[in-house]
Amino acid sequence: MKTFAYKPSRREGRATLGNLELRCPPLPQTLVEAMNLMERPEQIEIGPVTEMVQRDPVVVARLLHIVNSAYYGLRHSISSAERAVLMLGPVAVTGIVVGMNMLKLKSELDDAGAQCFQKLIRHSLASAFLTRHLLEGKPRELTPATARRSARVGASFTAGLLHDFGKIILVYNHPREAVDFYHRRNLDFQVSDQDERQLERLLFGYDHTEAGEFVARKLNFPDMLTDIIRLHHASEHLDGQGETHRALRATFAANLASKAMGYGFTSETMWDTVTINPVWEQLIRYDLRHHSYTEHLIEEIKNLQQYLDEYVGTMLA
C-alpha cells in the first residue's frame, strides 16, 4: 500500500516551505472546533456535533434546507437539528460548518478581494458536494460498503472543500496581486493547471499547493486533508489503495467536473476535456466498480446539476 510522506518542496534560489512567511486568516471559534472534530472522523458523534451547530441558528437553517432538498429524497421533512445531523452524518455536517465559517473570512478583504474569494468558495463548495457524491452516491442509494466508510466519506467532503485552501491563503496574504492575477487570467487567457502553478511561483514565490500545505500544517489540519491540499494536482498519485488515495481521486475528479458545471474559479472547462482525463477510469477501477463505463459515470455527474445548484445556492444564501 502506498503512503504519503511529507516532503517539503525545494527549489534552487527560493525558500523552503519551512521558511515561508504567510499569515493565517483569523479563524472563527466554530471553525477551530469543527477542525478539531475532523482530526478523528471515525470518532465523531452526533451529540457534540449537534451541540456545536445549535449555537448558530443560521447553520441550523441551512442544514435543514440541505437535508430537505430534492437530493435527499425524504418522504417527510425534517425540522430538528439533531435529526438533520443524523441524516446528513456528523462528519459531513462538520464539513458544512467548516465551509460556512470559511465564508466569514470575506469580511477581512476589500471589495475586489471579497468578490474573488466568493468565486473561490463557490468552486470549493461545488467540489465538496461532488467529491462526496462520487464516494457515496445519493443518500437513498447508500450501499453497505459505502455505509461502512461513512466517516471517511464525510472527511472526504471536507477534503473537496479545502483542496484549494492555498488559494484562500494567497488571496488573504496578497489580495491585490492575487485578485489581479486570477481576474486577469479569467478574462484574457486560459492555461493548464500546471501552468497556473508555475505562474503563481513567479508572482508569489510559491504556488497554491505549497502555500496551502504550509498553513495547513501550521494549523494542525488532519494529515489526509493536508495531503489533498498538497497533491490535488498530482495525477501520478491517483493509483493506489487507502482512504487518502480514494479521497484524492474523488477530489481530483470533482475539481474537474465542477469547472464543467459552471463553478470554475479561474476558468471554465468543457465536458469534452474533462471526460478524457484518466481519473474517471481510475475511480471505476478502485472505488466505483458498479460502474462499467466512464460515459455512465460522467452522465450521472451531469445529472446532478440541479442538485448542485441548489446546494451551493443554499450555502451562499
Structure-block grid coordinates of residue 208:
497554491
- Would residue 28 count as lying in a domain? no
The separation between CA 156 and the C-alpha centre of its own chain, rounded to angstroms, equals 8
Query: What is the value of pTM for the model shown?
Result: 0.83
**Which of 53-57, 92-96, 136-140, 165-169 is modeled with the greatest confidence?**
165-169
- Number of domains making up the chain: 1
User: Residue 13: which pLDDT band, with cuts at 50, 70 and 90?
Assistant: very low
User: Residue 10: which pLDDT band, with cuts at 50, 70 and 90?
Assistant: very low
Q: What is the pLDDT of residues 99-133, one digit of tens each?
A: 887 777 787 788 888 888 889 999 999 999 999 89
- Residue of 16, 24, 5, 27 lying closest to 212 (CA atoms): 24
Structure-block grid coordinates of residue 148:
461502512
- Would residue 252 count as lying in a domain? yes
- Would residue 97 count as lying in a domain? no
More confident residue, 262 or 87: 262
- Would residue 72 count as lying in a domain? no
Domain that holds residue 271: 107-316
User: Residue 190: which pLDDT band, with cuts at 50, 70 and 90?
Assistant: low
Which of 4-13, 76-85, 183-192, 226-235 bottoms out in mean pLDDT, i.e. has the lowest? 4-13
User: Residue 261: which pLDDT band, with cuts at 50, 70 and 90?
Assistant: very high
**What span, in angstroms and rounded, lies between the C-alpha atoms of 97 and 44?**
14
- Would residue 20 count as lying in a domain? no
Task: Work out the number of other CB atoms within 10 angstroms of the CB of residue 66.
Answer: 21
**What span, in angstroms and rounded, lies between the C-alpha atoms of 21 and 104?**
23
Which of 57-66, 119-128, 139-148, 195-204 bottoms out in mean pLDDT, i.e. has the lowest? 139-148
pLDDT computed for residue 253 by the predictor: 96
- Would residue 26 count as lying in a domain? no
- Would residue 3 count as lying in a domain? no
**Which of 18-32, 90-104, 193-207, 225-239 is modeled with the greatest confidence?**
225-239
- Would residue 44 count as lying in a domain? no
**What span, in angstroms and rounded, lies between the C-alpha atoms of 167 and 208?**
5
**What span, in angstroms and rounded, lies between the C-alpha atoms of 300 and 236?**
26
CATH number at residue 296: 1.10.3210.10
- Helix (H) or strand (E) segment spanning residue 203: helix 193-204
